Structure 1
C-alpha cells in the first residue's frame, strides 16, 4: 500500500524500514510532549492524566528537555553496570527456572506468569534496590498504565491507565521521599544528588525529576521485556529445527536474540508528530499531524532483510539490524539490560530444559502498540 498510508483517524502509517528509521532519527519528527498534548485541547485521550504524565516522562520529551534528562543519568547500563548485574540476574533466572521446574512436575506451568513477568521486575528491583514484596504491585501498575500508550485506547482503558498513574505516583513519590530522607549509594539517591545540582538546590523540582525518571524506566522495562521473554520461548517452540540447532550451538545465543527481536518485537509501533509542514515519501503532512512507525512492518521489510518472514537465527550479522529498540535520541535506554536478561534466560532454558515445549498456544491481550502476552503454558517432556 506504500511507504506512507493514510489512517482513518487522520494519522499516517509508516510501513518500510527506511521511512521508519528516518522518522525515528530526524529532528523534523517529535515525541508527543506536554506542549503537543496540551494543544489537542480537553475532552480527548491526550488530556487524560495518564497521557499528560507520559508527556512529562523521558519518552515524551524533546530537546532541550530530553537532552537534560538523558544526560542526568548518563550511560546507565554501560559495560561496568551490566557486568555487575550479570551474576545477580543469572541467579534470579536460576531461581525462577527452579520454580518453573517444580510446577511442571504436576504437568503444565504458566511460563509467562512464573518467569516472563518476574524476571524484568526482579532485574529492576535488583538495580534500584526495591523490596521483592512490591513486585506484584509494580507489575500490575505498569501493565495498567500501558493502555495510555495504545494506538486507539477505549474510555475504560484510559480510566484504568489514569488509576494506575496515580498508583505509580504514590509508589515512586514515596520511594523518592524515602531515599531523600535516608540517602545511600543506590541509583535513586545518586540521581537526587545529580538533580539537586541541576536544580540549584530546589529539592521539590529535583524530587519531581527523579520521580519521573524512576517511574518511566520501571514501567518501560516491565511492559516490554515481559512480553519479549515469553514471546521468544513461543517463537522458538514454533521453529523446532532452529531451537535444536541452538541447543547444539549455545554460543550463538546473542545472535539468536537479535533475530528474535527482529522477527517479533514486543513494541509494534511508536508515534511521532510533525514539527512543521513537511513531505514524507511524497506525502504532504501538516504540522502536529501524527505518524505511526510500524516497527513490526519495518523489521519485515524485504528491501532491508532477505526473506524477512523466515525466522533464521543463523542470519549473518549485517542482516540482523532492526528497530525493536527504536532509534535516534529515543533509542531504548534499557536495551543493554533487556539483552542481558534475554541472554541469561535463553542460556538457562537451553541448559536445563532439553524437552521444554509449549502445550497450549499463548494468550495475547488485544493490543496493537505495546503487545502483552498474558499466558504461555509449557511442559517438559
Structure 2
C-alpha cells in the first residue's frame, strides 16, 4: 500500500524500513508529550490516569527533559554491566529450567508461566533490589497497566490500567522511600545520589526516581518475556532447526536477532511531526501522528530478502529496538537474557517440542504470549 499509508483516523502508518528508520531517528519527529496532547481537540483520549502517568516517563519525553533524565541513568546496560549481570542471569536460568524439568516429568508444561515471564522479573528484580515475594504482584500490575499504551484502548481497558497505575505508583514510591532510609550498594541508591546532586527539591527528585524505577521495570518485563516465548515457539516450529542450532551454537546470537526481526515484541510506536514535512513523498502536517510499524519495517523485502521466511542464518537488520534518542535502554540486557536462556535450553532439552501453540493476548502495541505448551 506504500511506505506511508493514511490511517482510518487522523494519522498515518509508516511501513517501509527506511521510512520507519527516518521517523525514529529524525530530529523533526517527537514523542507525543504533554505539550502535544494539550494542542489536540479531543483531549479526553489523553486524560486517562494511566496515559497521563506514562506521558511522564522516558518514552514520552522530548528534549531537554528527556536528555536530562536519560543522562542521569548513564549507559544503563553497557558491556561491563551486562558482563557483571551474566553470572546472575545464568543462575536464574538454571533455577527456572530445573523447575521446568520437574514439571516436564509429569508431561506438558507451560513455558510462559514457568520460564519466560519469570526470567525478566528475576533479572531486573535482583538488579534493583525488589524482594522476590513481590514478583507476582509486579507482573500482574504490569500486565494490566500496558492496556493504556494500546493504539485505541477501550474505556474498560483504561479503567484496568488506571487501577494498575495507582498500584505501580504506590509500590515504587514506597520502594524509593525505603531505599533512602536504608541505602545499599545498588543501582537505585546510585540514582538517588545522582538526583540529590542535580535536584535541590527532594520531592521532585523522588518523583523522578519513582518514574525512572517504575519505567525501567515495566519496560523490561513484557517485552523480554514475549521475546523469550516467541524464540522457543519459532525455533521449535521448523523440524530439525532446534537440533541444528544445538550443533551450531555459534549461530545463537543470529537466531535471537532473527526472532526479534520476525516477530518483534512491540509492533507499533508513535511519533509526532514537529513541523510540516514530507515523508516518503507524502505531505505530513505539523502535529500529525505517524505510527511506526516495526513488524512491517522488519519484513520489508527491500531490506531483508524473503522476509516472511524465518531464517536463523540470516544476516539482515531490524528496527525492533527503535532508533535515535529513544533507542531501547535494555536492548543489550534482553539479548543477553535470550542468549543465556537459549544456550542452556539447547543443552538440557535437546528433544523439546511444542504441544500447544503460543497464545497471544489481543493487543496491537505490546505483544504478550499468555501460554505455550511444551513437552520432551
Say whether the fold is shared (TM-score over 0.5): yes
CA contact 1:360–1:376 (8 Å) conserved in 2: yes
Q: Could you tell me which residue of structure 1 aligns to residue 60 of structure 2?
A: 60
> Deviation per CA, 1:104-135, whole angstroms, max 9, x where unpaired?
11111100011011000000011101100000
Q: Residues of 2 paired with 1:41 and 1:96: CA distance? A: 50
SS at match of 1:44: helix
On the 8 A contact 2:89/2:340 being kept in 1, the answer is yes
1:323 and 2:322 matched: no
Instruction: Give the superposition deviation at 1:41.
Output: 5.7
Alignment check: 8 A CA contact 2:223 2:265 kept: yes
Alignment of structure 1 residues 264-343 onto 2, 5 Å: 264-316=263-315, 319=316, 321-343=317-339
CA distance in 1, matches of 2:43, 2:208: 27
Aligned residue runs from structure 1 range 208-227, under 5 A? 208-227=207-226
Which 4+ runs in 1 deviate beyond 4 A?
A: none
CA distance in 1 between counterparts of 2:267 and 2:195 reads: 34
**2:245 corresponds to 1:246:** yes
Residue 42 (structure 1) shift? 6.6
CA distance in 2, matches of 1:223, 1:268: 13
Correspondence for 1:356 among 352, 357, 365: 352
Looking at structure 2, the residues matched to 38 and 30 of structure 1 have their Cα atoms a distance apart, in angstroms, of 15
Whether the aligned pair in 1 keeps the contact of 2:117 and 2:222 (CA below 8 Å) is: no
Aligned equivalent of 2:47: 47
**1:378 partner SS:** strand
Q: Is the contact between residue 49 and residue 162 of structure 2 (CA under 8 Å) also seen in structure 1?
A: yes
1:36-61 residue CA offsets vs partner (Å, 9 max, x unmatched): 22333676231111111111101011
Mark the runs of 5 or more structure 2 residues left unpaired by the alignment: none
Q: How do 1:143-182 residues align onto structure 2 when only pairs under 5 Å count?
A: 143-182=143-182
- Cα contact 1:31–1:60 (8 A) shared by 2: yes
- The farther-off stretch of 204-213 and 38-47 is 38-47
Q: Within 2, Cα distance between the matches of 1:34 and 1:96?
A: 41
Task: Give the CA deviation at 1:197.
Answer: 1.1
Residue pair 2:359, 2:372 contacting (<8 A) in 1 also: yes
Q: In 2, Cα distance between the equivalents of 1:207 and 1:39?
A: 29
Whether the 8 Å contact between 1:45 and 1:158 is mirrored in structure 2 is no
* Structure 1 counterpart of 2:141: 141
Structure 2 length-normalised TM = 0.98
Partner of 2:278, secondary structure, is strand
